[in-house]
């Protein structure tokens, strides 16, 4: 992949030249340089795995009592839900019933 020296857009090959479709800049192709470019063509694709529950996402656990079922273990994660100058909120997800609550909900 080659990028335009003038505007930074992706260049497209057109015969013996590279052409920028954004600004019109053209440049002669250098076949030796093109041989050194990295390509994804021919590489194997990785398998996409659906991980829907918290344990498979690798979330850390903590000891806390679930207000829904009384289980004493929950996964937790932090999320910014207010403005940037406020601290993050810790969310908990029960490892048994998957009930979700915020740490300050008590």
The predicted pLDDT at position 13 comes to 82
On whether residue 48 sits in a domain, the answer given is no
Domain with 75 in it: 54-105
Whether residues 58 and 99 share a domain: the answer is yes
Q: d(Cα 65, Cα 74) in Å, to the nearest integer?
A: 8
Q: What mean pLDDT is predicted for residues 21-39?
A: 79
Q: How many domains does one find in the chain?
A: 2
- Binding site per annotation, positions for Zn(2+): 4, 7, 20, 23, 66, 69, 94, 97
Of 82, 69, 78, 83, nearest to 102 by C-alpha is 78
Write down the pTM of the prediction.
0.45
* pLDDT tens for each residue of 41-92: 555 555 554 445 544 567 899 999 999 999 999 999 888 877 777 788 889 9
Q: d(Cα 90, Cα 47) in Å, to the nearest integer?
A: 31
- Note whether 46 and 56 are within 8 A (CB): no
Whether residues 22 and 60 share a domain: the answer is no
Whether residues 33 and 7 share a domain: the answer is yes
Share of the chain above pLDDT 70, in %: 77
């Amino acid at each position: 992949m080659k990028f335009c020296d003038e505007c930074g857009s992706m260049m497209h090959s057109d015969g013996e030249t590279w052409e920028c479709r954004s600004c019109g800049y053209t440049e002669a192709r250098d076949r030796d340089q093109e041989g050194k470019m990295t390509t994804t063509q021919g590489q194997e694709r990785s398998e996409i795995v659906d991980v829907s529950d918290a344990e498979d996402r690798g979330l850390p656990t903590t000891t806390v009592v679930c207000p829904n079922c009384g289980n004493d273990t929950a996964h937790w994660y932090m999320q910014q839900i207010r403005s940037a100058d406020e601290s993050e909120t810790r969310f908990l997800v029960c490892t048994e019933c998957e009930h979700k609550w915020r740490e300050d909900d008590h």
